[in-house]
Structure 1
């Protein structure tokens, strides 16, 4: 088995591609050792001590290194853990499969949409699903729709995109411009 690695726009995060499915649907982010207890793989990565974030995508895992950690020494350790996990075909989550454990993207924090905005919200969600999320996944992350109120779209960046130095530019210049172009009711995009 060979695990490819890719850099991401976030210098603290590397994207690892095991060449097989990681999550059957959805994504899952772990930002603490406590959260990682739900997944033996995430737990093993956090146990390295120099990991501050793990993100499972459909066919990749993004790992964020702690400040001061050096990727040249951390990367072989991460690859070793990933190889052990996938070769042994261990479960991704403790006590169940990914479909039982994966947190739906919209379940965390929802700003609540006004039913009168249903058509606008449907357009926004469609653009995010078809144009934005695939591009963000290429960079080792995900973007989650949180709500639309008074012209403002609220989004959350996850994985490599969370804490990325270019995330503000991505939100403001990329996503905001796209949404404003196709959905005139959108006046602004904010991180949630």
Structure 2
């Protein structure tokens, strides 16, 4: 088995591609050792001591290194853990089913409660995020999650490589906000949640 690596716009995060499905649907992010206890793989990565974030995507694992950590030293250790995990076909999550995949409940917390009167607008926003934004963000080793819509403002949370990326504000404002305003006139602003 061979694991490819790709850089991301966030210099602290590398994207690892094991050449097979990682998550059958959605993403799952771990931002602390305590969170990682739900996944033997995430827990092993955090046990290295130099990892501050792990994101499982459809076909990748994005790993974020602690400030000041050199990827030249950390990368071989991460690759070794990933190889051991995928070659052994161990479950991704504690208590995983026979295939090794137990998809956790969506961990998206809402920031604002959506107004039922905005249901059509919200459906348009969610569709654009799912079909146009999420695939592009996943290419960079991240994910984006809808957190709410109120009074013209869309609240989104960035995960993985995108959550700490120096260009994340520009992505939200210049990319996603422009796209949503173009297709959904009711959108006036996009904010990080």
TM over 0.5: yes
SS of structure 1 residue aligned to 2:91: coil
Partner of 1:173: 174
Cα deviation, 1:117-176, whole Å, max 9, x if unaligned, reads: 111111101100000000000000100001100000000000110111000000000000
Residues 101 and 130 from structure 1, CA distance in 2 versus in 1: closer, same or farther, beyond 3 angstroms? closer
Aligned residues between the structures: 191
Gaps of at least 5 residues in structure 1 are none
User: Once superposed, which parts of structure 1, at least 4 consecutive aligned residues long, lie more than 3 Å away?
Assistant: 97-101
Q: Does the 8 Å contact 2:110/2:147 carry over to 1?
A: yes
Partner of 2:190: 189
Deviation at 1:103?
Answer: 3.1
Residues 99 and 79 from structure 1, CA distance in 2 versus in 1: closer, same or farther, beyond 3 angstroms? closer
**Distance of 1:181 and 1:105 partners within structure 2:** 29
Which stretch shifts more, 89-98 or 162-171?
A: 89-98
TM-score under structure 1 length normalisation: 0.96
TM-score under structure 2 length normalisation: 0.96
Q: What value does the CA root-mean-square deviation take over the aligned residues?
A: 1.2
SS of structure 1 residue aligned to 2:5: strand
